[in-house]
Structure formats: C-alpha cells, structure tokens
C-alpha cells in the first residue's frame, strides 16, 4: 500500500515519488482512452488521476449510468493493463469546471438541501450514491492486485466550508465499504486548515509559488509528504473571454523546482478534453462566467490528444531525474477536412414541442430543477390580460432568455446584463408571453454553488404577478424527426439538419460560421455549445469515433439568427 512517513511517500515500504497526470474519462470518448494513457506513460509518469462526477453517473435519482463514456471501471482496467497506478477522486463535489461541480441538479429540488454539509438530507443522498459507487472499486485496490493507490475524501473543501463532521462522514463511508486505501484531501495553500482532517494526508493545489505553498503545509502538518494534487499548468476559458495560455518554459521551470524539493506531482491537466453536451460549469464572482465547450486547458495534450511543446518540455526535465521511455509513436491520425455540409432542412423549435419536451402546468413558474429538467432549455408560457407597456426586472431569469409576445420576438435578457429593468409592450387585451430560457451551466465553485435555473421565481410585471403558467422541459436527448426543406419560417430557435458521408473516418472540427449561438449534434450526440459572437471558441471538436462512413446526420440548434445553411468540417481548432 501507499503510505506516508518521514516526510515522503512509500510504496511497498520503498520511497516512492508520485508522478501523475489528470485525464477525465468523462471528457474523452472511450475509443481514445488507451491512446491518452499510453502518451501519459511515455512521458515518464507512473500514475493517472481522475475525478468521478456524481451527476454523470446518477443523472436522475436512483438511475445509474456506468456504460460508454461513464465506464470508469474500463478506464481503470486500461490503466492497469499499461502498468500505471491510479488515483480516484470520487468526492461528491469535484469542481473541475464541470456542471455544478459534479453535484446532480436534482439535489436542488429539495428546498431544505444544504450542499456539502452534514445536513441529513444531503448526507442521505451521498450515502445512497456511494453505496452503489464505492463497492465497484475494492477489487481495483493495490493490495488486491489492482492499480488504485489513493482516493480523495473531498475536493477543495476549505474554499467552501468548515463542517469537519461532513468530512468525517465521507471518510466513514470508505470504511463502510472496506476501501482500506491511502486517503487524502486537497486544497489551495490558504485553505488547507479548514479543508483538512487531522489523521488524513493533506495535499495542495496550485500552479506556482512552490516554496510558499510548501511552507503552509509544513506549518499545518510538519514532516508531511509534499503532493501537489493539482499542479495547474494551464487554465480554462469562459465565453466572452480570451483563450488562456501558459508558456512551456514557465511550466517546466516550476516543475523542476517541485522535483528538486522532492515533491510529488499530478499535472492538472495532462489532457483536458471536452465539455460535451450541457456539462460545462461556470464561475460566478463579480459576474457570471460560463465555461466554453472546449476544456483544452492549454494542457500537455491538446483537446484532441496531440502532444505539445509543453509535453516535450516536461519530458526534457524528467530526463534529468529518472529514466524515461522512448517517445510514443501515436496511432492518432491527422484531423480531417470534410468541407462544406448543407443543412437545408429546418424546423422551428416551437413546432416540435410535442415531440421533444415534457409539459408541466403550475399556478406560478417553477425552476428547471422543480420540473425535473437538469440541463438545456425550458420554455415558459402565460397569458397577459393587459394592454400597454409593462415593466419588470429580469433577475428572475437564469441564465439567458428570449422573450416573445404573441409569437413575435421582442427582447433578449442575460444574467450579466447591467440593466435588469425591461419594458415590454403588450398590444392586445389578451397576449401570449413566452420566455425561452437557456441554462448556460451551473456554478462549479464558490458561494453560488446552489444555482437554480430557468424562472427561479414569478416575474413582477407591471406591478403585479400573472399566474397559470405552462412549462416545456426541452432536454434534447431526443431530436425532432420532421423537418421542412428550405423552410422560410423565421421564428427562432430553429433546428437545421443535413447529412453527409466520409471516405475515411477521423477527427474533425465543426465550424458554424454564419450561425450565432446554439448546439451541434452529430448522429444524436450533443457536441456542446457554440457562441460565435462571444468567443473565444469558434469551432467544436468532433471525435472520429462518433462518425460512420455513410449517412451521418448533423443537427444545428440555432437560438438567435443565421445567414447561412452550411457548416464546415475543418482540420484545425480555433481558440482566439
């Protein structure tokens, strides 16, 4: 087993330096897991680390998914087959710029819920989940011949709360399921006191200022082994921001300092991957910052798994301290350019509601969570039996919404709008008000973790409430089947559909230039969001395994406007 004594790690009673890289199986199609793990081993690393997102495995209460991209056991077995050790981080909360930090949205349906605390309602759900999840891992522990040498109790808890009883409860669940392995917590240096347990190893998360970080750890726990559980070598991007980069030279210099100080390291990220579907998170500080679809992270591998200058620089440092393998001969083919794809069939989402949504009626509008709608879009409808200009404050709308009166678009409102007061003109004595709301990703970190979506309360319109609402939950797990050719209907949002064949299957990038904002689906798989007017991401990564040679179907859900009915499949990404 992995142990900590004398200020260093030991494995089988021998000093052990943990050299690890983070790969999130849930951000990479399974067909590419082996390639990424082989590149990690070829760098000279001995361990792979991964989070385990609760919402990915229990999307609805009591309904579990451990197949396809969610087959974490397959990922562990592949790592073991390649001779790598494994660190698992199944803490209920993972952050990771992932939707709600990995917590399932259905937790927010319970009004009394207190997340990441020892509140009984929350603990009951955690225990139910762990009763299914944790028993899967016992057979993979190192002492039973498996690769798992360590597991995390909670993630960066000191940056959220101080409920040590909660941490003790999570530790108890590991014991309940006989997971006798090396346990740890991880926090930024300034938060380790609140997020640590006395008898559990404390690890650090940071990207620089090595000496100061290790001094904080030494003050809290003298003679503790030094593991940087997250050595941040890049950063994530958010819509309307710029693509973050960090030089290979700087990362290599800090890494060398860590090695010189006998530190163990987990590169965050070795490969970032992709926030497919609606699984991007958001940060909420002064304003709301939703994360883009790409989780490239300026990592050691690109979003599609190519090695980088940063990868080469780290390998050069490692050569000075350990024997590293020969360079890996990647089987990854060059990205393909398939050219222009016509998407000439279209249909307004308003004409597909009976096909793709679930309808709920209530006297007042309900949040998405209250109607069991975790992600995506929700349409709200009510009758306004007044004529004239009525004012309201848009703070009830989370996150972005398109407003329609009697079927005509009148306004867009967004969580980040400085001006929250809107004036709507109702031309008739009786009017249909429709509010089409997009959940752009729940906060994954900090004080806004409890981040309900949709209409989170009734709107105060013209100095009164209006009652009796219809709500249409549009999850887009199913797409419309009936389209019109060259449809002139201009009522957005609209689906656009096309088909194409390919001679050779490979990775490519979907360029939606001419479209504005929405999602792209390939053969029913949601590649994620685009927002061309915001950037920095201009193209969506399309992994080759999602394609077939004949009869590929592409669907674009455009929310706002387009001046084209073509998309491009190109060979290069575009992050500005």
Long-range contacts of 10-18 (CB under 8 A, 24+ apart): 11/142, 11/149, 17/262, 17/264, 18/46, 18/47, 18/85, 18/227, 18/264, 18/265, 18/266
Antiparallel, parallel or unpaired: β 388-393 and 431-438: unpaired
- What is the signed CA dihedral for 187, 256, 150, 22, rounded to 10 degrees? 80
Has residue 118 got a pLDDT over 70? yes
- What pLDDT sits at residue 356? 97
Q: What average pLDDT does this structure show over 236-261?
A: 97
- What pLDDT sits at residue 50? 99
Q: What percent of the chain has pLDDT over 70?
A: 99
The active-site residue, picked from 49, 97, 99, 156, is 156
**DSSP-based three-state secondary structure for 102:** helix
Instruction: Give yes or no on whether 339-347+480-570 and 358-474 have one common fold.
Output: yes
Q: What average pLDDT does this structure show over 328-354?
A: 93
Name the architecture of domain 358-474: Sandwich (2.60)
Cis status, amide bond into 169, omega within 30 of 0: no
Q: What average pLDDT does this structure show over 361-374?
A: 98
Band the pLDDT of 486: cuts 50, 70, 90: low
Cα angle for residues 148, 116, 133 (degrees, 5° grid)? 35
Pairwise CA distance, residues 292 & 421, whole Å = 28
- What pLDDT sits at residue 42? 97
Please give the mean pLDDT across all residues of the chain: 97
Band the pLDDT of 490: cuts 50, 70, 90: confident
- What pLDDT sits at residue 489? 64
- What pLDDT sits at residue 6? 87
Domain ranges of the chain: 16-319, 339-347+480-570, 358-474
327 versus 383: the higher-pLDDT residue is 383
Contact 352, 490 (CB under 8 A): no
CATH of domain 339-347+480-570: 2.60.120.260
Q: What average pLDDT does this structure show over 209-228?
A: 96
**DSSP-based three-state secondary structure for 19:** strand
pLDDT in tens, 250-296: 999 999 999 999 999 999 999 999 999 999 999 999 999 999 999 99
**DSSP-based three-state secondary structure for 371:** helix
Q: What average pLDDT does this structure show over 553-574?
A: 97
156 is catalytic: yes
pLDDT in tens, 143-158: 999 999 999 999 999 9
Burial of residue 299, with CB atoms counted within 10 A of its CB: 0-12 exposed, 13-18 middle, 19 or more buried: buried
Q: What percent of the chain has pLDDT over 90?
A: 96
Give strand ranges (E) for 292-440. 339-342, 345-348, 358-362, 377-384, 388-393, 397-398, 400-405, 408-414, 421-426, 431-438
Q: What average pLDDT does this structure show over 170-189?
A: 98
What is the pTM for the complete model shown? 0.97
Neighbouring CB atoms inside 10 A of 219's CB total 11
CB under 8 Å to 79, separation ≥6 — which residues?
37, 48, 85, 86, 147
CATH of domain 16-319: 3.20.20.80
The active-site residue, picked from 230, 303, 369, 558, is 230
Has residue 488 got a pLDDT over 70? no
Closest CA to 532 of 552, 543, 518: 518
- What pLDDT sits at residue 263? 94
Pairwise CA distance, residues 236 & 516, whole Å = 22
pLDDT in tens, 286-310: 999 999 999 999 999 999 999 999 9
């Amino acid at each position: 087993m992995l142990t900590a004594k004398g200020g260093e790690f030991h494995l089988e009673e021998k000093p052990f330096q943990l050299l690890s890289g983070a790969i999130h199986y849930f951000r990479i199609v399974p067909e590419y897991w082996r390639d990424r793990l082989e590149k990690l081993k070829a760098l000279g690393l001995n361990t792979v680390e991964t989070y385990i997102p609760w919402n990915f495995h229990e999307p609805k209460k009591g309904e579990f998914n451990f197949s396809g991209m969610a087959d974490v056991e397959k990922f562990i077995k592949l790592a073991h087959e390649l001779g790598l050790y494994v660190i698992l981080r199944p803490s209920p909360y993972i952050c990771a710029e992932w939707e709600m930090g990995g917590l399932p949205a259905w937790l927010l349906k319970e009004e009394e819920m207190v997340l990441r605390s020892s509140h009984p309602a929350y603990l009951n759900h955690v225990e139910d989940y762990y009763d299914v999840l944790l028993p899967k891992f016992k057979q993979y522990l190192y002492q039973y011949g498996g690769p798992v040498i360590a597991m995390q109790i909670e993630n960066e808890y000191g940056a959220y709360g101080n409920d040590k009883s909660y941490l003790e409860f999570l530790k108890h669940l590991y014991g309940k399921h006989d997971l006798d392995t090396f346990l740890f917590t991880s926090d930024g240096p300034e938060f380790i006191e609140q997020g640590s347990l006395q008898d559990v190893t404390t690890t650090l998360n940071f990207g620089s200022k090595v000496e100061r970080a290790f001094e904080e750890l030494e003050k809290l726990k003298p003679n503790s082994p030094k593991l940087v559980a997250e050595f941040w070598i890049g950063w994530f991007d958010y819509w309307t921001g710029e693509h973050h980069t960090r030089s290979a030279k700087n990362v290599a210099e800090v890494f060398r300092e860590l090695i010189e100080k006998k530190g163990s390291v987990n590169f965050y990220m070795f490969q970032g991957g992709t926030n497919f579907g609606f699984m991007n998170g958001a940060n909420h500080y002064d304003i709301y910052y939703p994360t883009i679809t790409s989780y490239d992270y300026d990592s050691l591998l690109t979003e599609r798994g190519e090695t980088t200058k940063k990868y080469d620089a780290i390998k050069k440092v490692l050569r000075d301290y350990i024997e590293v393998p020969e360079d890996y001969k990647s089987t990854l083919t060059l990205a393909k350019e398939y050219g222009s794809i016509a998407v000439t069939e279209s249909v307004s989402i308003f004409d597909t509601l009976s096909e793709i949504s679930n309808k709920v009626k209530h006297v007042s509008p309900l949040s998405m969570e209250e109607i069991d709608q975790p992600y995506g879009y929700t349409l709200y409808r009510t009758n306004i039996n007044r004529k004239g200009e009525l004012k309201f404050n848009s703070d009830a709308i989370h996150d972005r919404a398109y407003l329609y009166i009697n079927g005509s678009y009148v306004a867009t409102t967004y969580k980040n709008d400085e001006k929250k007061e809107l004036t709507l003109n109702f031309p008739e004595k009786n009017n249909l008000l429709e509010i089409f709301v997009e959940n752009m990703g729940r906060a994954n970190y900090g004080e806004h973790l409890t981040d309900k979506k949709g209409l989170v309360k009734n709107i105060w319109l013209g100095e009164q409430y209006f009652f009796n609402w219809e709500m249409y939950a549009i999850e887009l797990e199913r797409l419309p089947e009936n389209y019109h050719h060259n449809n002139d209907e201009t009522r957005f949002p609209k689906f656009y559909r096309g088909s194409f064949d390919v001679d050779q299957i490979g990775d490519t990038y979907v360029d939606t230039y001419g479209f504005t904002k929405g999602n792209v689906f390939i053969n029913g798989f949601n590649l994620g969001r685009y927002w061309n007017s915001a950037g920095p991401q201009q193209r969506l990564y399309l992994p080759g395994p999602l394609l077939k040679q004949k009869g590929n179907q592409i669907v674009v859900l455009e929310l706002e406007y387009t001046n084209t009915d073509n998309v491009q499949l190109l060979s290069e990404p575009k992050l500005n």
